[in-house]
Amino acid sequence: MPPWPQGRGFLITGGAGDIGRATATLLAGRGGHVMLADRDAEAARAVADRIEAGAVDAMGCDVTVAAEVQAAVDAAVEMTGRLDGAFNAAGIIGPAFPGIGMAEADWTRVLAVNLTGAWLALRAEAAAMRAGGGGAIVNAASVAGLIGAKLSVAYGAAKHGVVGLTRCAALEVAGDGIRVNCVCPNWTEGAMTAAVSAAVPGRGLDTRMAERTPLGRIGQPHDTASAVVWLLSPESSYLTGAVIPVDGGFTAQ
């Protein structure tokens, strides 16, 4: 038999992000067909063009718009005739430091992208997988979905919601041969965390987070991508509803 995921079809929302890109690279390198969906279609296309192995395509998609999410799922299905796996990685941090005093518009936007967007994607993906006889979905939460995140109330609330969404959805679709799991990355090197670090005075957050992490370093995109690919694979066939910290021991303290 060809090595997994040879010829199988996948969708990654937030595909232009660092973790999305790393996941697509791993899947494509093993022969998968990957559709990258991102609000920034140009950035997603640039990622797809840089991945030489496998078959990778890209398209624009705002995960807060149901019709655009459905179009992305349909496009992924068209690549191979079915949707075998999906990684819902689209997310934004939003204003990091206003806390509960943040503007209502900011609260609404962070919840819309991180939580409602994950639900819209999961809903459309599950329908496609049900028609194809099963599949695997991985949602991206965060360590902020497992513990409190001071002055990041909307992001933390949304990621706690993604954890709950994962567990509830896993129970609902298990009988359809669909597994739903969740990864919770720690602070991970990339554009999103760099933007937050730039707004913080004093020593960089990368250094401070590394010092607070038992393994002594911050995360790299491939750390989470490797966990995602495993959760999408048949090797994790007995896991559903799992919430897995990819955090260097941060939440074990």
User: Which positions are catalytic?
Assistant: 155
Distance of CA 94 to the CA centre of its chain: 16
Rg (CA), the chain: 17
* CA gap 197, 233 in Å, rounded: 34
Q: Dig out the tokens for 249 from the structure.
A: 């021991």
Edge-first strand order for the sheet with 243-246 is 55-60, 33-38, 9-13, 85-88, 135-140, 178-185, 243-246
Place of tokens 């999410």: 69
- Asked if 166 and 145 count as a contact pair (C-beta separation under 8 A), the reply is no
- Helix H or strand E encompassing 205: helix 205-212
Got the DSSP string for 119-173? Answer: HHHHHHHHHHHHHHT-EEEEEE--GGGTS--TT-HHHHHHHHHHHHHHHHHHHHH
